[in-house]
Chain A
Amino acid sequence: MNEIEQFTKSEYKYGFSTDIEQEMAPKGLSEDTVRFISAKKNEPQWMLDYRLKAYRHWLTMKVPTWQNVHYPQIDFQDIYYYAAPKAKPKLNSLDEVDPELLDTFKKLGIPLEEQKLLANVAVDAVFDSVSVTTTFKEALKEKGVIFCSFSEAVREHSELIKQYMGSVVPYTDNYYAALNAAVFSDGSFVYIPKGVRCPMELSTYFRINAENTGQFERTLIIADDGAYVSYLEGCTAPKRDENQLHAAVVELITNENAEIKYSTVQNWYAGDENGKGGIYNFVTKRGICKGNNSKISWTQVETGSAITWKYPSCILKGDNSIGEFYSVAVTNNAQQADTGTKMIHLGRNTKSTIVSKGISAGRGNQTYRGLVKVSKAAENARNHSQCDSLLIGDKCGAHTFPYFEISNPSAKIEHEATTSKIGDDQLFYCQSRGISAEEAVSLIVNGYCKDVFKELPMEFAMEATKLLSISLEGSVG
């Protein structure tokens, strides 16, 4: 068999499912579903009203079709919108968490027991529609940092939620953002008060478990004046034959001199080698640099999902604000990805950097889509974009669509794009020097991605490197 053809046979090691009693909303979507979810979460009336408005708006919208991805129409009535492990009514400590769940996260490499916690990383573990537990809560509280599940924030920090939720991604923004606003289940909420540098990495780990269930989480992170936080999101799902929808919304807000560093290691189940099953990952992520001299940095390593469709973006409103986007996206087998970023320059002396590294193997198909927009008032805007594609074998594809809308002549925009190919010739060359094909791919891929990996927090950079090798494993003999 051809070297490259063998490149696509690897096992997804997070593909197990947890056998746990679930409480589900009735299948399908209606106002009743929305009310059911809201009631389950003991939400205040204003939250329910918001959901209903979003739901009604969603009904008027059409499924977007402009992305360069192909999949059968989703039947929104064939999905469960709420699934929660049946548990004790209220969890006060980890002792009350179902051991089955602790075990699940342990298997995923995320120990939640206090004594085994990753040093210096606080974790919020979200299982299907609910947050299971948040670690290090007390330690964070001392600094005034709020890190809790979104549901808890709706109840306990309603003023902040009312003020900020939907302020960056309104429910009218797009089809899936509207859907999320109507049925969102859980997610994480972070608030870093003025002048506080969050003493540890914050991390949310999302796990889809239940069958035929969508996951619709929301994340909202606010860094107040002079605050700093580094946040990491990870995700996995069991191997299932049917496709599952994941439609999340992430909103970031930085006030003056604040900085948020948001890293994602996305490893949803990608489907089998023939494209059966896998997660549809349709996500809206956007941050606003509201205050002057603030900074938002997105780093993403996208290895999973059958289809990925997302554009983590920055609105650079404050003067001298900085937006960054570092991305590695892998599509192997039948995976498809349409991903990129939007950098919207509004303030003066705003700066953005885009580094996108696409890797396609197997029959994977990938599109980079990026927009750099400089408004009239954005004096002295700067952008540097670097969009590289790496093709492994000759059955995969890569496309690059950079868009520029420049309304201020003082803008300095640089764009570079390259395409490289690893074929049998490259692999044989490496082999003839004593390097096996698998090692060769990992050597090439890691070299290629290093500009992005160096942006990840250390432990996660190592994980990402490993993950990349695994997702490309089997693609050579």
Chain B
Amino acid sequence: MGKLIEELKQDIQYQHGMNACLNCGICTAVCPAAEVYDYSPREVMNICHQEDEEALIELLKSDKIWYCGQCFSCTPRCPRGNSAARVILALRRLSIRYGYFAESEKGRQQLFAKRVFGENLLKRGLTLLATNITPQNFPELGEFWEYYFEHMKEMREWWGVPMDLENSPGSHRIIPEKDMEELRAIYKATGALELMEAIEKGMEKKLGSKEEVEKYWQTWLETGDSRNYQLKKEKEEDK
């Protein structure tokens, strides 16, 4: 048995998510990602089940594992008690550890996950911040959201949910520094920092340098679409 298969089998989410899969396809039938992408949780389960190392590596390098929306709709409906959602969680961590995530377009978006969710947590103790929900990135929230965004502090006071209070249990509060230190210690001790670091490193390896990673990030910040960044290989092909 291959090394990656062995490692996958050690992951508790894999152990809890994978019994014998009968390939019935119920998970795919109810999956919202299968509806819009070239994606099938049944296929993912099948590849894992076959324990073919090469096929697994190909899967870890592909967009497929990143399509899943983690809704768990597949989970209660599986007649075998499997959870493709949990298997996906294990596959994604394996893909990050080996740098394979950077081989796919959707995988490279992990840089945003790390720099938004991850760094928000480390800086503020909250995964999302009010300032992340910009009208530019969320135009569907509409014109009244734009108004709210311009008057964020006053609007939140008016609604009775003032923000950024210190030493308060309130909404979007400033978490005391001593609690933040505890949180950071937990992130370090449990391997989350290492996982986040692996994302930065994997991106650097794929794009060639730290400067290129910053370019990729800036492109996303400025245009909201990472596809506006051209990989070296794509650039050469254009020439």
Asked if chains A and B come from one complex, the reply is no
Enumerate chain B interface residues (CB-CB to A < 8 A).
none
